[in-house]
Amino acid sequence: MNLKKGLYEQVINEELNEEIKKNINDVEIYKEIIDYTDANLILTTYLSYIFKKGLNYYKSSKEDVLKQVEIANKIINSFAEYIDDEEFKNYKINENHLLRGVFDKEIINKDIKEIQPITSISKSSLFTGSHVEPTVYSEINKEIATADRVDLLVSFIKYSGLRLIMNSLIEHTKTKKLRVLTTSYMGATDFKAIKMLAELPNTEIRISYDTQRTRLHAKAYYFHRETGFSTAYIGSSNLSKAALTEGTEWNMKISEYTSKEVIEKYRITFETYWNAKDFMTFDINNVNDTKLLKQSLSQETTTDEIRITFDIRPYAYQQEILDKLEVERKVFNSRKNLIVAATGTGKTVVSAFDFKEYYKKNPNCRLLFLAHRKEILQQSIMTFRTILKDQNFGDLWVGEHSPSSDNYLFASIQTLNADSKYKKFNEDYFDFIILDETHHGTADSYDRILNHFKPDILLGLTATPERMDGEDILKYFNNRIAYEVRLHEAIDRGLLCPFHYFGVTDSVDLDSINWVRGKYDISELSNVFTGNDMRANLIIRSLDKYINDIAAVRGLGFCVSKDHAKYMSMYFNKKNILSINLDSDSSLEERNNAQTQLIKGEIKFIFVVDLYNEGIDIPEINTVLFLRPTESSTVFIQQLGRGLRITENKDVLTVLDFVGQANKEFNFRSKLRSVVGKTENSIEEEIENEFPTLPKGCFVQLEKKAKEYILNNIKQTYANKNNLRKMIRNYKHETNKPLTLSNFLNHYQLQPWQIYKTATFFELCHLENLKRNYIECIDKELNSALKRVMAVI
């Protein structure tokens, strides 16, 4: 070893002693006699290091485990002989197994595995928010499930954080004790959170009401186990959504087994606080206690002012996209580029800045901005006018709007296709063409326009390159994506607000609703939902369960029909939750007024049908209700995206999705995959493991029956080869597209591995007499190879 200058706390072994002798004349050596009170700890730490280093020579096979056990037993024997204590031989290892738990006999192995924390309870761990480690809240839920007592020591408790572990606490307190120490500092604690905790059995809460100064900065969670494997989470996380789910908080998990002195210090400190006069017992049934807490937590806030701001310079991530576009054009000479960016990340803003730079260099250029909805075009033209600082820039060509000039057109696909209006322009008339929400229009409508025009720059904008008609939009853009930031990455990078998604068990059974052309029969759905007071009451009860304060809600409810939206608004108003319903018949004035009222908090919900899927920007939306089954994962993500824009005083979007017994043709798998994003886990594994790979700050919880419905649906739909054969057999009845692997995957929203885990696509088609020249032995080899490929992509 090379003796470096600096601090040490190391036992002087022979190797180190030789290094000291070599350097004795060049440096000042500072040594200290090992104190007898610390000797056992110091030497144990040193021997642990030596033993670990030695056992590392035997770790390449199962047989090496037995060799390590043999070495360990020899050391134990030597120890027993040296201290002359035969009982020490009882510590010898007699098999290469770990005892992981002792439980009542009615608990099956599957249950034991589900409640075991992923991180070890016998050694320390550091949580940093990395995706390669489990989330803090998922581990805390498992710690609670396996603890004999729980002590929480946190500065404040937010409802958004408590609900992440509430189900586990409910189960724990049925038979075991929970103690909570917290404060009313800065009014940060939610009264509803304290109330929920106080209503639990076997629970004690003590609160410091010292609001002038913070007496408690500590954040710690202690899980006592009679087995001697207690654990504590000590770090920066209060009991809030952000602290438990986002990567900005670090937490250390300490094990009693290896750090008993740290755990003991925690216990002593907790008991000191618990018995301190500053912390007063809180009784939910005591009027004075509840009054004192509410007064201490009260903070006056006003939300009357409507802020409409626009940064005239791109954000850093938007500049990153602009830089990438410049590289594509200058370095790769690619003038046709597709930007894939999650809803809410400002794709239109990027296109406006991109055009602004082009316009500076080409002041006589012409622009064509294409979209499929008037609302998108209206919002887009305002964005361009703001960024270009020209309130007269551009003309709308959609609906009742006709352009006064053709230089800068914001036109709908439908308008240009009507009577082939696009043919009035020469192919090189427009220098810069932008396609917004590219995934929408049908193949023919886009093909006609894009095959006609030959612009210098073609820029596509979309949240998803998966077209709703199954066609491939990449063919318009040199078959590649210039820049991509999907929902998962956008949330991780702080570009969008995290979401808490709750799959609520619905009271309506949709299994008998007819399935027509790839979706539920709309009229039948409307009849089932409209006028259903029991279901509407369930929705309101669910809001009370999952929402901290209904007064703070700014919500959207997506309905199945105009009648359904009208009914929901009427029912909510009857229950004193002020609401409005909007649909395609609503005037622009009605829509604008509803938006203003929602932002101001004058109404709590807007119930919509076929509106607000896109083209609307209300950052204040903090609650989304999915009141109808959404067959398209693309539409689902767009609707979810309505509430993902970041704004002040919104730390999370709450999503309530009402899940009932579904038609077996309904695809829960693709819907949940769009939420989870690309992972190594199957959706079934994500569900069973409580979604461990979500974006930072996000949370998904499925109620018991909702989870059962979803898992049964997934197993029904894609469990075996017979179901895949059935889909191939029905394919020609559901679409006119040719039967290719790509079309098949897009139509049924499948991933390749879902096919190749059972057979090759060619084999499945052959079994349905749709492919010839099938050679079984070659196909089996191909299937084996494809399985290996699927495992690494």
pLDDT band, very low/low/confident/very high, at 476 (cuts 50, 70, 90): confident
Among 430, 451, 485, give the residue marking a domain's end: 485
User: Would you put residue 59 in left (φ > 0), alpha (ψ -120 to 50) or beta?
Assistant: alpha
pLDDT for position 717: 65
Average pLDDT, stretch 704-718? Answer: 84
DSSP 145: H
Question: How far apart, in whole angstroms, are the C-alpha atoms of residue 369 and residue 351?
Answer: 10
pLDDT bin (cut points 50, 70, 90) of residue 3 is confident
**How far is CA 665 from its chain centroid?**
26
More confident residue, 787 or 425: 425
Task: Give helix 633-641 / helix 668-676 axis angle, nearest 10°.
Answer: 40
Question: Could you tell me the CA-to-CA distances from 225 to 102, 181, 202, 294, 638 in Å, in that order?
Answer: 12, 20, 17, 35, 46
Residue 371 near residue 365 (C-beta atoms within 8 A): no
Chain-centre distance for alpha carbon 497: 10
Q: Which residues pair with 207 in a beta bridge?
A: 182, 280
Q: Are residue 393 and residue 504 in the same domain, yes or no?
A: no
Beta-carbon contacts of 31 under 8 Å, excluding residues fewer than 6 positions away, are: 12
Question: Are 565 and 609 spatial neighbours (Cβ–Cβ below 8 Å)?
Answer: yes
| pLDDT confidence tier of residue 246, bands split at 50, 70 and 90 | low
Assigned token pair, 371 = 């979209």
66 lies in the same domain as 125: no
Contact 554, 618 (CB under 8 A): yes
Q: What mean pLDDT value characterizes the chain?
A: 85
DSSP letters for 54-78: HHTTS-SSHHHHHHHHHHHHHHHHH
Per the CB < 8 A criterion, the answer to whether 142 and 118 are in contact is: yes
The total number of residues shown for the chain amounts to 793
Cα 706 from Cα 711, distance rounded (Å): 9
More confident position, 731 or 439: 731
Q: Which residue has the tokens 């309506």?
A: 508
> Could you tell me the CATH number of the domain that includes residue 663?
3.40.50.300
85 and 183 in one domain? no
Calculate ∠ Cα 383-411-618, nearest 5°.
Answer: 40
Q: Is 305 within a domain?
A: no
How many angstroms separate the CA atoms of 268 and 148, rounded? 18
At 248 the pLDDT is 63
- In terms of DSSP bridges, do strands 395-397 and 408-412 run parallel, antiparallel, or are they unpaired? parallel
pLDDT in tens, 273-325: 899 877 899 999 999 899 989 888 874 233 333 333 344 678 778 999 999 99
Residues 75 and 153 in one domain: no
What residue has token string 């029905």?
730
Pairwise CA distance, residues 469 & 737, whole Å: 10
pLDDT at 713 (0 to 100):
84
Q: How far is CA 336 from the centre of its chain?
A: 32
158 and 261 together in one domain: yes
293 and 194 in contact (C-beta within 8 Å)?
yes
pLDDT at 174 over 90: yes
Same domain, 733 and 748: yes
Amino acid symbol at 386: T
Contact 644, 653 (CB under 8 A): yes
Residue type (1 letter), 613: N
Strands of the sheet with 623-626, listed across from one edge? 579-582, 605-608, 555-558, 623-626, 653-659, 499-505, 699-702
Q: What Cα–Cα distance (Å) separates residue 592 from each residue in 371, 597, 599, 616?
A: 21, 9, 11, 10
Q: Which of 380, 383, 378 is nearest to 311 (CA)?
A: 383
Last residue of a domain, one of 662, 683, 717: 717
Q: Report whether 617 contacts 645 (CB < 8 A).
A: yes
More confident residue, 59 or 515: 515
Q: Are residues 742 and 690 in the same domain?
A: no
In this predicted structure, the answer to whether residue 470 has a pLDDT above a threshold of 60 is no
In a domain, 490, yes or no: no
Find where tokens 């077996």 sit. 664
User: Quick check: 213 pLDDT over 50?
Assistant: no
Q: Which residue has the tokens 């096979």?
A: 61
Residues 464 and 375 in one domain: yes
- Is there a contact between 673 and 487 (Cβ–Cβ < 8 Å)? no
Kindly state whether residue 102 falls inside one of the protein's structural domains.
Answer: no
Confidence of residue 517 (pLDDT cuts 50, 70, 90): confident
6 and 52 fall within a common domain: no
pLDDT tens digits, 679-696: 767 778 888 888 888 888
Q: Indicate the pTM of the whole model.
A: 0.74
pLDDT tens for 327-378 read 999 999 999 999 999 888 889 999 999 999 999 999 999 999 999 888 889 9
CB 203 within 8 A of CB 233: no
- For residues 254 and 263, is the Cβ–Cβ distance under 8 A? yes
Give pLDDT, residue 671. Answer: 82
Q: What is the pLDDT of residue 310?
A: 42
Distance separating alpha carbons of residues 58 and 66, to the nearest angstrom: 9
**Structural domain includes residue 311:** no
Among left, alpha and beta (phi > 0; psi -120 to 50; other), residue 697 is left
Dig out the tokens for 643 from the structure: 């509430």
Bridge-based pairing state of the strands 279-281 and 203-208: antiparallel
Across the range 613-636, mean pLDDT stands at: 86
Would you give the DSSP letter of residue 581? E
HSE at residue 469, side-chain half, CA atoms within 13 A, is: 14
* Any domain includes 308: no
Quick check: 624 and 598 in contact, CB under 8 A? no
Of 694, 717, 740, the position where a domain reaches its end is 717
d(CA 44, CA 50): 10
- What DSSP assignment string belongs to 218-248? --EEEEE-TTS--EEEEES--BSHHHHHSTT
Query: Do 460 and 337 fall into the same domain?
Result: yes
Q: pLDDT per residue over 719-768, tens digit each?
A: 567 778 877 876 776 567 788 888 888 766 677 877 877 788 888 888 87
Angle subtended by helix axes 533-546 and 562-574, to nearest 10: 60
Residue 247: predicted pLDDT: 52
SS3 163: helix
**Domain with 772 in it:** 721-790
Tell me the two tokens of residue 45. Answer: 């730490």
Residue 773 predicted with pLDDT over 60: no
Q: Do the Cβ atoms of 258 and 184 come closer than 8 Å?
A: no
> In Å, how far are 174, 666, 681, 691 from 698, measured between CA atoms?
28, 25, 17, 10
Indicate whether 432 and 544 sit together in one domain.
no
Measured distance CA(404)–CA(137) in Å, rounded: 58
Number of domains in the chain: 6
Q: Which two tokens stand for residue 760?
A: 């090759």
Instruction: List, in order, residues 6 or more apart from 189 with CB less than 8 Å away.
Output: 156, 157, 158, 182, 183, 297
Q: What is the pLDDT, as a whole number, of residue 504?
A: 97
* pLDDT recorded at residue 566: 97
Helix 721-734 and helix 704-718, axial crossing angle in degrees, nearest 10: 80
Tell me the mean pLDDT in the region 208-236: 81
Q: What is the CATH number of the domain that holds 128?
A: 3.30.870.10
Is residue 292 in some structural domain?
yes
In this predicted model, what pLDDT tens digit does every residue of 539-552 receive, in sequence order?
999 999 999 999 99
Q: What pLDDT score was predicted for residue 304?
A: 35
d(CA 345, CA 644): 9
Q: Please indicate, yes or no, if residue 101 is contained in any of the structural domains.
A: no
The kind and range of the H/E element at 729 are: helix 721-734
Q: What percent of the chain has pLDDT over 90?
A: 44
Euclidean distance between CA atoms 387 and 363, whole angstroms: 16
Q: Residue range 516-535: average pLDDT?
A: 93
First to last CA, the chain: 43
Q: Does 525 share its domain with 658?
A: yes
Domain membership flag for residue 100: no
